[in-house]
């Protein structure tokens, strides 16, 4: 016998209170009279005999005391627990996509069947899935019901099975000589863990073809080019058909003969439509690697504005127009990238990068940097590998930089980041440009390209729309609604996740087509996640081998299960005696 | 003596009242002994009252021979009977008579008064203690020290007692709050020449007054009733009490008796006034 909450026994203090109230209550108005028979007409309670009366009078008190005792026992959690020995098992599931390969049934279905048949309802389980990262599906020390539910919902989709991290996690829950049960379709990679894992391999070797790579690139304003790599994992050549669909219409089809171990590359062009392109291979045992969806290429045009350069503006314009998806903006309000000679330039919200140049009338001690003495910062994307060999760079000596310069001449800053605020960066060109030859040098278009691309990357939104499983997905989205509204992520049209704030990066997304929206606004971003995992597509090495469950040597523990009969009995008796005390109360 | 006075301060007063008043006895009597008072019926005293014709069975010692010689008719001389009254004082000593000390004291005072009044006329006085059973006792003042006993209903006890079958005066002091039929009670004393019933009640028993939820406890058996002393309840009770008293009074009067009612809170003067009004006593 034990008490789960011994403090509940303090409720016994109610008994003296009950006694006090009982005797206090007895002091009501009472009259001793010679006889009752003249009053019988007015009785409001049944008369009672002396002995019976004494008994009935004390019954409410007795019932109240009993109810108080039972209630205190109930609150104290009196229990006569049912004890039993239970075992704990730690199970790791191979979460890689190859477990979905079907020959009649899949390795996943076979694994679920094995576990459901073997696991006992009285035992406890810790269930971990081993994908790119380990994940606790049930437990630790979950009941059979919890484990079974998690197992039935398990769908392996990972591009790889990273066993080391999963074993590290699972090891936290094993003691002594206990072994971890590992359910997989290929036991070969597991050999190094033989002392800690008991492997149950449920794979069946079979040939498989897959799309091992695909991408979509904008080659011209009106054309996209699609690059595809196909692979076959079979003993012999495999015949397959690749079909490309856009708006449910076939835009490309090719019959391919795939030699074993030799990837086959294909390419074709389509119109640069803002439509999804679906690539589909003839279905085989593993369907997860037979289809790819490529979303339209994301183009982020950069608008450039320049002011105060007079005739030299032409050099800026030429350099801008030579860069794809870049144009000269009519005004600073529409520009992402601004070149200005204004002393006090007031930036617009759209301006992301502002390069301040010296004004022609600006005076000071001019120094001259030239050729190899001009040192660019090769760690910065703006000046990486920038050659200023033939450049003459006059500059003002007294200008200083708060940060290490991007281009320097014996430590004196020639180009540097002056400030950054609210996503806007202000750079300063310490260049007496009207006396320099930089605009005529080949370095200028190179530098302009770097500046434009650096600015393009800073424009909010995704840079790409197609990713592979396991790849982190940066979003950099901007909220379009003024009032706080959650961000919703849809996968293949169905709700997948919700975020209170815009997520900066998404990870571990399974294969599918995704859209991020906010409130009632249209889609903020759309992207696809495709499975490209040749290692998982190779099903030739899968094997079947049952585990010896006896080798698991689980830890045993004494389980004390609360005796609910005691609980309900105390509860019912408390209610009964409370009701009886009320019934017999006069 | 001093202890006695402390517990019974009205003793002297009772004794003075006994000097001042006397019991009002009925004309008809069935005397069993020759006493000092003259009765109105023909008896065997030496005082000649009248004559009547001789019938078979008359005492031949009383044949008026002189009248026979004159008239040739046998007649019997009738003599005034001497009265020696028997007074039985039955005092209810059940628990109900001591629900208040005042009620108990009133009972004792009444018993003592009637006892003194009885002695005054040289009546053969017997005191009976009617509690759990019927017991004779000698001194009414013993009531002060005796304990009342539980009594379910006294009628069967009375009906079985021998003294109810003889004549004389019966004085019963009780609260008459036991379940009984007035007719049956009066019938029990049918042999009495005179029946005096004196009811003693507490002020509450006489008039409960409106009040709150009250538990009424029977002093005899500790049974209880919970009542609400609202107007309807109080009036209902008083109606029943008055009916009881009226019935008792009517039947006692038919039996040539008297019924008096007293409250424990009444003064001795009020007590005497009630007894005078109801014809139990008169001024000497």
Q: What is the DSSP string of A357-370?
A: E--TT--S-EEEEE
A83-205+541-561 and A302-458, same CATH topology: yes
Rounded average pLDDT over A416-437: 92
Decide: A209 and A239 in contact? Cβ < 8 Å. no
CA nearest neighbour of B17 among B95, B112, B97, B85: B112
- The answer to whether residue B97 neighbours chain A at the CB level (below 8 Å) is yes
Minimal C-alpha gap between B97 and chain A (Å): 7
Confidence of residue A183 (pLDDT cuts 50, 70, 90): very high
On the question of a cis peptide bond just before residue A140, with omega within 30 degrees of 0, the verdict is yes
Average pLDDT taken over every residue of chain B? 82
Q: Which two tokens stand for residue B36?
A: 């000092």
Mean pLDDT of B196-203: 94
Least Cα distance to A33 among B231, B94, B262, B154 occurs for B94
Of B97, B221, B237, the CB nearest to A39: B237
pLDDT value for B3: 47
Name the H helices within A81-162.
107-118, 144-153
Instruction: End-to-end CA distance of chain B: give it in Å, rounded.
Output: 29
Q: Measure CB to CB from residue B226 to each of A37, A45, A49 and give the nearest one.
A: A45
Residue with tokens 């950069």: A302
Average pLDDT over residues A236-248: 92
Give the model confidence (pLDDT) of A451-479 as tens digits. 999 999 999 889 899 999 988 999 888 76
Q: What is the pLDDT of residue A286?
A: 92
The pLDDT of residue A481 = 67
Q: What is the mean pLDDT of residues B188-207?
A: 91
Percent of chain B with pLDDT over 90: 29
Pair of tokens at residue A265: 């590359």
CA distances (Å), origin A9, targets A6, A74, A102? 6, 9, 61
CA distance linking residue A388 with residue A373, whole number of Å: 9
pLDDT of residue B156: 86
CA distance B62 to chain A (A): 56
The pLDDT assigned to B26 comes to 62
Q: What single string gives the DSSP state of each residue in A29-53?
A: -EEEES-STTTGGG-SS--B-HHHH
Chain A residues 9-48 with CB within 8 Å of chain B: 28-45, 47-48
Q: Which residues of A261-298 are buried (b: 16+ CB within 10 A; e: fewer)?
A: eeebebeeebebeebbbbbbbeebbbebbbbbbbbbbe
Q: Does A579 score more than 70 pLDDT?
A: yes
Domain B2-30+86-283 indexed as CATH 3.40.50: yes
Q: What is the mean pLDDT of residues A140-156?
A: 94
What interface predicted TM-score (ipTM) does this complex get? 0.77
Q: What is the average pLDDT across A163-168?
A: 92
The pair of structure tokens assigned to A409 is: 């001449």
CA distance A48 to B58: 63
Cβ pair B217:A33 closer than 8 A: yes
pLDDT of res. A20: 79
Give the pLDDT of residue A92. 95
How far is A487 from A506, CA to CA, in rounded Å? 13
B45: confidence class by pLDDT, cuts 50, 70, 90: very low
Tell me the nearest-neighbour CA distance from A1 into chain B, angstroms.
Answer: 46
Outline which parts of chain B fall under CATH 3.40.50: 2-30+86-283
First to last CA, chain A: 38
For range B187-192, the mean pLDDT: 87
A24 has a pLDDT exceeding 90: no
CB pairs under 8 A between A and B: 100
Compute the C-alpha angle B207/B213/B217, nearest 5°.
65
Query: Do the beta carbons of residue B196 and residue A12 sit within 8 Å?
Result: no
pLDDT at A522: 67
Give the global pTM: 0.55
In angstroms, the CA A307 to CA A317 distance is: 11
CB B154 within 8 A of CB A34: no
- Judge whether residue B29 has pLDDT over 50: no
Over 90: is that where the pLDDT of A353 sits? yes
Residues A473 and A488: their CA atoms lie apart, in Å, by 16
* pLDDT score, position B2: 44
Average pLDDT, chain A: 89
Rounded to 10 degrees, the C-alpha dihedral A468/A470/A474/A477 comes to: 80
Residue that has been written with the tokens 């994307």 in this structure: A381
Contact A32 B213 (CB under 8 A): no
A180 with A551: CB under 8 angstroms?
Answer: no
Amino acid B24: pLDDT? 79
**Per-domain residue ranges of chain A:** 2-29+45-80+563-584, 83-205+541-561, 302-458, 476-527
User: What would the mean pLDDT of A327-341 be, rounded to a whole number?
Assistant: 94
Instruction: Return the H-helix or E-strand segment holding B136.
Output: strand B134-137
Chain B residue at shortest CA distance from A49 = B223
Averaged pLDDT for residues B230-250: 92
- Strand-pairing partners, residue B259, are B197
Contact B223 A50 (CB under 8 A): yes
pLDDT single digits (tens) A91-133 = 999 999 999 999 899 999 999 999 999 999 989 999 999 998 9
Q: Which of B:173-192 have CB within 8 Å of A? A: 175, 177-179
- CATH number 3.50.50.60 given to A83-205+541-561: no
Rounded to an integer, the average pLDDT of B44-58 is 64
With a cut of 50, say whether residue B33 has pLDDT above it. no
Instruction: Determine phi and psi for A345, rounding to 5 degrees.
Output: -90, 125
A40 neighbourhood in chain B, CB within 8 Å: 225
Q: Which run of H or E residues covers position B200? A: strand B194-201
**pLDDT tens sequence across A34-60:** 888 899 888 665 444 445 555 555 777
- Does residue B93 contact residue B131 with C-beta atoms inside 8 Å? yes
CATH number of A302-458: 3.40.50
pLDDT at A586: 53
List all residues 6 or more positions away from B257 whose beta carbon is below 8 Å from its beta carbon.
B26, B192, B194, B195, B196, B197
Please give the average per-residue pLDDT across A137-154, as a whole number: 93
Portion of chain A with pLDDT greater than 70, in percent: 95
Using a 10 angstrom Cβ sphere, with 0-12 exposed, 13-18 middle and 19 or more buried, the burial of residue B222 is middle
Give the tens place of pLDDT for each residue, A273-286: 889 999 999 888 89
Please name the residue that has the structure tokens 């249209």: A522
CA distance A584 to chain B (A): 14
Across B224-235, average pLDDT: 88
Residue B120: band (very low, low, confident or very high) from pLDDT cuts 50, 70, 90: confident
- A351, A306 in Cβ contact below 8 A? no
Contacts with A33 from chain B: Cβ below 8 Å: 96, 99, 177, 202, 204-205, 216-219
């Amino acid at each position: 016998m034990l008490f789960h909450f011994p403090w509940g026994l303090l409720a016994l203090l109610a008994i003296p209170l009950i006694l006090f109230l009982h005797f206090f209550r007895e002091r009501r108005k009472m009259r001793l009279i010679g006889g009752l028979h003249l009053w019988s007409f007015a009785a409001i309670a049944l008369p009672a005999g002396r002995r019976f009366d004494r008994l009935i009078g004390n019954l409410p008190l007795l019932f109240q005391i009993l109810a108080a005792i039972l209630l205190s026992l109930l609150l104290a959690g009196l229990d006569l627990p049912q004890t039993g020995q239970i075992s704990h098992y730690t199970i790791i599931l191979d979460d890689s996509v190859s477990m979905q390969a079907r020959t009649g049934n899949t390795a996943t279905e076979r694994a679920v069947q094995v576990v459901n048949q073997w696991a006992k309802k009285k035992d406890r389980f810790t269930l971990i899935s081993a994908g790119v990262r380990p994940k606790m599906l049930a437990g630790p020390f979950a009941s059979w019901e919890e484990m079974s539910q998690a197992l039935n919902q398990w769908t392996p989709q990972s591009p790889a099975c990273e066993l080391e991290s999963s074993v590290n996690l699972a090891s936290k829950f094993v003691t002594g000589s206990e072994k971890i049960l590992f359910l997989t379709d290929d036991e070969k990679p597991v050999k190094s863990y033989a002392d800690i894992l008991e492997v149950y391999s449920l794979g069946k070797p079979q040939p498989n073809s897959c799309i091992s790579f695909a991408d979509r690139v904008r080659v011209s304003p009106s054309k996209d080019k699609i690059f595809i790599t196909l692979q076959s994992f079979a003993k012999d050549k495999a015949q397959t058909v690749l079909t490309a669909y856009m708006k449910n219409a076939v835009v490309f089809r090719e019959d391919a003969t795939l030699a074993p171990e030799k990837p086959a590359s294909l390419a074709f062009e389509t119109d640069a439509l803002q439509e999804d392109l679906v690539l589909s291979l003839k279905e085989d045992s593993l369907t997860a690697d037979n289809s790819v969806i490529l979303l339209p290429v994301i183009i982020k045009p950069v608008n450039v504005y320049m002011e105060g350069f007079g005739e030299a503006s032409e050099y800026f314009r030429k350099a801008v127009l030579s860069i794809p998806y870049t144009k000269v903006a009519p005004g600073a309000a529409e520009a992402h990238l601004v070149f200005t000679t204004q002393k006090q330039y007031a930036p617009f919200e759209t301006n992301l990068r502002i390069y301040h140049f010296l004004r022609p009338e600006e005076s000071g001690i001019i120094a001259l940097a030239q050729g190899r003495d001009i040192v660019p910062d090769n760690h910065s994307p703006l000046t990486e590998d920038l050659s200023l060999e033939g450049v003459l760079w006059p500059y003002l000596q007294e200008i200083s930089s708060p940060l290490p310069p991007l281009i320097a001449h014996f430590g004196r800053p020639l180009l540097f980041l002056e400030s950054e605020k609210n996503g806007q960066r202000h750079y300063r060109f310490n260049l007496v440009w009207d006396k320099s030859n930089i605009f005529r040098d080949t370095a200028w278009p190179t530098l302009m390209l770097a500046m434009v691309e650096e600015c393009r990357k800073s424009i909010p939104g995704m840079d790409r729309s197609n990713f592979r499983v396991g790849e982190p997905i940066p979003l950099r989205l901007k909220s379009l609604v003024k009032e706080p509204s959650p961000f919703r992520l849809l996968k293949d049209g169905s709700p997948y996740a919700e975020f209170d704030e815009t997520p900066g990066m998404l990870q571990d997304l399974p294969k599918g087509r995704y859209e991020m929206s906010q409130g009632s606004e249209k889609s903020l971003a759309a992207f696809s996640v495709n499975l490209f995992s040749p290692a998982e597509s190779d099903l030739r090495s899968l094997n079947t081998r049952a585990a010896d469950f006896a080798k698991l040597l689980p830890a045993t523990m004494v389980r004390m299960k609360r005796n609910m009969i005691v609980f309900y009995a105390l509860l019912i008796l408390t209610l009964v005696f409370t009701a009886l005390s009320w019934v017999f109360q006069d | 003596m001093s202890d006695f006075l402390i517990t019974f301060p009205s003793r002297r007063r009772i004794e003075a009242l006994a000097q001042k008043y006397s019991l009002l006895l009925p004309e008809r009597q069935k005397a069993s002994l020759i006493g000092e008072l003259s009765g109105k019926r023909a008896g065997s005293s030496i005082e000649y009252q009248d004559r009547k014709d001789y019938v078979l069975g008359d005492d031949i010692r009383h044949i008026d021979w002189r009248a026979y010689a004159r008239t040739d008719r046998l007649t019997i001389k009738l003599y005034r009977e001497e009265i020696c009254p028997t007074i039985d004082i039955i005092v209810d000593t059940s628990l109900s008579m001591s629900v208040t000390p005042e009620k108990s004291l009133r009972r004792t005072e009444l018993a003592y008064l009637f006892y003194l009044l009885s002695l005054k006329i040289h009546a053969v006085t017997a005191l009976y203690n009617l509690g759990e059973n019927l017991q004779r006792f000698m001194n009414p003042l013993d009531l002060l020290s005796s304990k009342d006993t539980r009594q379910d209903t006294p009628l069967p006890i009375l009906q079985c007692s021998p003294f109810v079958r003889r004549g004389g005066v019966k004085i019963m002091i009780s609260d008459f709050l036991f379940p009984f039929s007035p007719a049956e009670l009066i019938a029990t004393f049918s042999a009495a020449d005179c029946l005096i019933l004196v009811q003693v009640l507490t002020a509450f028993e006489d008039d409960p007054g409106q009040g709150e939820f009250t538990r009424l406890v029977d002093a005899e058996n500790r049974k209880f009733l919970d009542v609400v002393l609202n107007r309807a309840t109080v009036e209902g009770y008083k109606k029943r009490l008055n009916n009881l008293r009226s019935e008792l009074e009517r039947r006692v009067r038919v039996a040539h008796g008297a019924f008096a009612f007293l409250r424990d809170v009444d003064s001795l003067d009020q007590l005497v006034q009630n007894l005078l009004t109801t014809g139990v006593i008169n001024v000497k």
